[in-house]
Chains A and B, each alone.
Chain A
Amino acid sequence: MKLSKIFSRGLVMDNPVFIQALGMCPILAVTNTAFNSFGMGMATTSVLLGSNIVISLLRKFIPSKIRIPCFIVVIATFVTMVGMILEAYFPALNQALGIFIPLIVVNCLILGRAESFASKNSTVGSITDALGMGLGFTGALVLLGIVREVIGFGTVFDMQLFGDSFEPMALMTMAPGAFMALGVLMAVFNRIVYARLK
């Protein structure tokens, strides 16, 4: 498969959020603001990139019978590293994302890419795949974060959008708002973008 196709697949045709619906827990939990969504997306992308590289390098070394524990160890290592780095250099983001940073370990997007792509393909292909999937994930999260932040707080990336007369809809910052916004975005994405490209 051509690299450009591998890359764009993660962005649109196989978008992890809108098409595959993978990693729903962080998608619903931390997208209350655009900044948090961006931070979560970047953290997940770095873990995915690291794990895809290492797993594709080790793919001939790891026996297939114990591949899942090996993948989990590699993924957990990268997640813990990202957690430490965030705590040291981005304490505010770390505070906002809280428990969802360590929980990247169980994000099925990462194990899914390790199992279905990195363990069978070259390192270059796996890097491309990680970037495509990671950016597709980040893009979808940020989109959801923007929608929820605009309606729920009246801001985008902490910039005030409306005058004082705007009454924010607090529901959008909470779990029900996440489900509603995600549902609507998913429907729009499938109807317009996906249907047209297919």
Chain B
Amino acid sequence: MRDIMKMGVILLIITSVSGMVLGMTNSFTEGIIMERSLEEVLSSIESLIRDADEFEMIEDDEVLSRNRIREAYVGYENGSVAGFAIKSYAQGYGGEVEVMVGIIGDGTISGVQVMSQSETPGLGDKITEDSFLENYRGNKTAEDVSVDAISGATASSDAVNNAVEAAADLFEDILKNR
């Protein structure tokens, strides 16, 4: 009995110390991680809605509860709406593919950026290349926005297509009338 008590106390000490160390590391790195991901999102939005000088996050449940939509931002130029940046996602071959879609004016795609993906290196991860993503530029949200798949990476290309379509539908259904 005493033996079990002793072992329990020792385990308790080791786990509490490790918990404390982890808490300290977390409080130290947390801020940097948050800042970095914010910066990443901001620079992506800025490059997608070039004319805008002010950005605002859309916190509307009607928008955020939609299928495949994660976040949405609106960019203003001198107080009037210049465009939208929509973060959407879809299931790819090796996991989730997350993209940021820029839509300007009355529904022209200004660009698509891949925010995170875990597709097959050398095949599926070609979806992050400009030669693929630039095909979306100039497509109209009122029409079919999808582009031809990369050969050997159909599932990954479809994921980007689905995510971009979800963003285009969001614009057509809700954001356009704002």
Contact = CB atoms under 8 A, between A and B. Distances in A.
Interface in B1-54: 6-7, 10-11, 14-15, 18, 21-22, 25-26, 29, 32-33, 36
Contact of B14 (A70, A88, A153): A70
Interface stretch (B65-73, B118-126, B154-162): B118-126
Interface string A78-91: 00110011011101
Nearest to A177: B122
Given A63-B6, A173-B121, A73 B22 contact: no
A95 interface: yes
Given A32-B122, A69-B11, A70-B14, A80 B22 contact: yes
B26 A74 contact: no
B91 to A, nearest CB: 16
A170 B22 contact: no
Interface size class of B (residues with CB under 8 A): 20 to 34
Chain A interface secondary structure, helix, strand, loop or mixed? helix
A71 to B, nearest CB: 10
Given A63-B7, A77-B18, A80-B22, A88 B121 contact: no
B135 interface: no
A84 B26 contact: yes
B50 to A, nearest CB: 25
Contacts of B33: 84, 87-88
A77 B21 CA distance: 8
A61 interface: yes
B122 A88 contact: no
A63 B3 CA distance: 10
A66 interface: yes
Contact of A62 (B10, B15, B118, B120): B10
A63 B6 CA distance: 9
Contact of A88 (B15, B21, B32, B152): B32
Among B6, B25, B123: residue with most chain A CB under 10 A: B25
B21 A81 contact: yes
B142 to A, nearest CB: 35
Nearest to B123: A170
Interface string A41-63: 00000000000000000100111
A66 B14 CA distance: 12
A65 interface: yes
Contact of A66 (B7, B29, B118): B7
B36 A173 contact: no
Interface of A: 32-33, 58, 61-63, 65-66, 69-70, 73-74, 76-77, 80-81, 84-85, 87-89, 91, 95, 98, 152-153, 168, 170, 173-174
The 6 A-B pairs of least Cβ separation, nearest first, read: A173-B122, A77-B18, A88-B29, A88-B32, A84-B29, A170-B122
18 contacts: A32-B122, A62-B10, A63-B6, A63-B10, A66-B10, A69-B11, A70-B10, A70-B11, A80-B22, A85-B29, A87-B29, A88-B32, A95-B116, A153-B122, A170-B122, A170-B123, A173-B123, A174-B120
Given A70-B10, A153-B122, 15 more contacts: A32-B121, A33-B121, A63-B10, A65-B7, A73-B18, A76-B18, A84-B29, A88-B29, A88-B32, A88-B33, A91-B36, A95-B116, A168-B122, A170-B152, A173-B121
